[in-house]
Amino acid sequence: MKNYLIITLGTRDVQILKSKLIPNGWEIIGEANSKNFKITKNDLELDVTPNSVYPDYFLLSPRKSGEYILKNLSEILPIIELPLIQPLLNHLQEKNTQITNYLIIYTDQEQSFKEKKINISHFNNDTLYFKEIVLEILQNHMLLKNAQPDEYGIFEQVANIDFQYDHFAVSCKDLLLDNPDNIGEILLLPQGGIDQINHAITLQILQAFKHKVRLFQQPESSEPIELNFNKKFLNDLNKQKIQKHLDDYDFGLIDNTLHRNKKIYHLAQYAYKRLSLKNNQNQIHIDFLKKNESNYQFLDLDNSDYVKLKDLYISSKISLNHQDFNSFLWKIFTFNENLFTVKVEEVLGKTDKFFIPGNGKYDENIVWVDKLNRTNKNIVPELRRQGLHLSNPNRKVFFAILPILFPHDSNLYLYQRLAVNLENLSQKRNKLAHKLGSVDKNQIKQLFGNDYSIENLMGDIDQLFNLQTPFGIYDQIKEEIEKLL
């Protein structure tokens, strides 16, 4: 994994330390209380300005003085320091922080100046020469001796935050020249330079790399500070995302990057897999959630047909809630295919073993008929009376079998009413499948007529499954996640 240090350069990042001048043969020329000073050594002469915050330092013009320093770097380097950068490097070194790469962000608006888009003062504040000086110094710091240096220039509209925000939205991942999965941490010091650049790169890197980002500030005349803003910003942003996904019951969109609390991720993944009818894959999530916890005893690994049928129904309700009527219709069709089968198989056991693929509808399946006769002698005569085929098990046969096997079931009237209305929906789904069609809510409403509605359908199935809330266990999971936000 790679750990990046990113530094934005400003006009105060390269300074002259006064106490190093005389020992290195330099002389200060200027009047007291004046802003016009020069420092000289033999034939070298450099314009400097007092630093009101750091009185032990002189400030420099980034472009003019920076270019002059680079031409005479070996003579001037001994008196240069980086008071807004070096304290952070020292701090990270003391903490044994591992840095594998570092990136310096600078400005160079030469083309904009030639095109008269900026004035001379902004042009002179460009930090392209400071960048070379900083890179020269940083390569010798113990923290970065084995780290790979890099640089990134900004050449236009440096004070336009809208432009810079859009710019870094595209380029921030390219800054690091690596797959984001290979990055361990990004340590960001957006201290120097222009606020618009600092704000833009901070926000975009936070969005791109999230909790991998550590944000630092180096106040003048004080120790470096690691800020909590990035954590607060991401947590607030991610809370809104998570809440939106919860309101939509889109549990699968809540991944492990959205919140530091791992319980949120495991609860969401548990719900997502159940809704995908894969509750048998939830062991890892249950083990994590139930470890030393009593709140999550309502979670289980039940992968029975009954549980999967109920989860499929709730998934269809979620599709309906999303106004995704095609998905709803497909799921409710599958639900209809299995609703009566699951109930009847409580007595018959699994019936797919009786299915003979090559049978035509008028072929009699002897093994299937024998099973029905041995279960209840009234089944086959009733199927013949209704004109139902005995070639293979199918949903219409199960519709007819259910009241024979469960004549006193308290939900029998619900099953019978659902049989009629679910069949209407299934027929609509079949027509769509053959015609590559689509469906809207009004078309679904028309299937029921005046005496029944989609709300009646949902109410009947809710009652059948004894749902105490609209989305059953998923409302409980949603509530548990909201408590953790």
At 361, is the pLDDT very low, low, confident or very high (cuts 50, 70, 90)?
confident
Query: Do residue 177 and residue 103 come from a single domain?
Result: yes
The mean pLDDT value of the chain amounts to 91
pLDDT reported for residue 39: 94
- The last residue of one of the domains, among 227, 249, 274, is 227
User: Is the model more confident about 208 or about 140?
Assistant: 140
Say yes or no: 201 and 272 in one domain.
no
The answer as to whether 28 is a domain residue is no
- Give the confidence band of 423 by pLDDT, cuts at 50, 70, 90: confident
Is 235 inside any structural domain?
A: no
For the chain, what is the domain count? 2
CB atoms within 10 A of CB 20: 14
- Which stretch of 4-13, 171-180, 217-226, 421-430 has the lowest confidence by average pLDDT? 171-180
Are 338 and 479 in the same domain?
A: yes
* Residue at a domain's end among 227, 250, 268: 227
- Could you give the percent of the chain with pLDDT greater than 70? 95
Residue from 422, 368, 360, 357 nearest 396 by CA: 422
280 and 214 share one domain = no
Q: Which two tokens stand for residue 53?
A: 């915050």
Q: Are residues 334 and 453 in the same domain?
A: yes
Given pLDDT bands bounded at 50, 70 and 90, which one contains residue 477?
very high
- d(CA 263, CA 161) in angstroms, rounded, equals 37
For strand 27-30 and strand 183-189, is the pairing parallel, antiparallel, or unpaired? unpaired
Task: Give domain status of residue 115, yes or no.
Answer: yes
Q: Are residues 301 and 244 in the same domain?
A: yes
> Is 118:70 a contact under the CB 8 Å cutoff?
no
344 lies in some domain: yes
Residue at 142 is within a domain: yes
Do 167 and 288 fall into the same domain? no
State the pLDDT at residue 283: 96
Cα angle 196, 202, 203 (rounded to 5 degrees) comes to 95
Q: What is the pLDDT of residue 443?
A: 79
Residues 159 and 300 in one domain: no
Residue 450 covered by a domain: yes
Q: Give the model's confidence band at 427: pLDDT under 50 very low, under 70 low, under 90 confident, else very high.
A: confident
Query: What is the number of other CB atoms lying within 10 angstroms of the CB of residue 365?
Result: 18
320: nearest Cα among 485, 453, 145, 217: 453
Q: 141 and 86 share a domain?
A: yes
CA distance 359 to 391: 6
Asked whether the beta carbons of 480 and 265 are under 8 A apart, the reply is no
191 and 143 fall within a common domain: yes
End position of a domain, from candidates 204, 227, 250: 227
pLDDT band at 449 (very low <50, low <70, confident <90, very high): confident
Report yes or no on 341 lying in a domain.
Answer: yes
- 146: CATH: 3.40.50.10770
The answer to whether residues 221 and 245 belong to one domain is no
Shared-domain flag, residues 92 and 142: yes
Note the pLDDT of residue 64: 94
- Residue 99 sits in which domain range? 2-10+71-227
Distance (Å, whole) CA 159 – CA 165: 11
Instruction: Identify whether 16 is part of a domain.
Output: no
Q: How many residues does the chain have?
A: 485
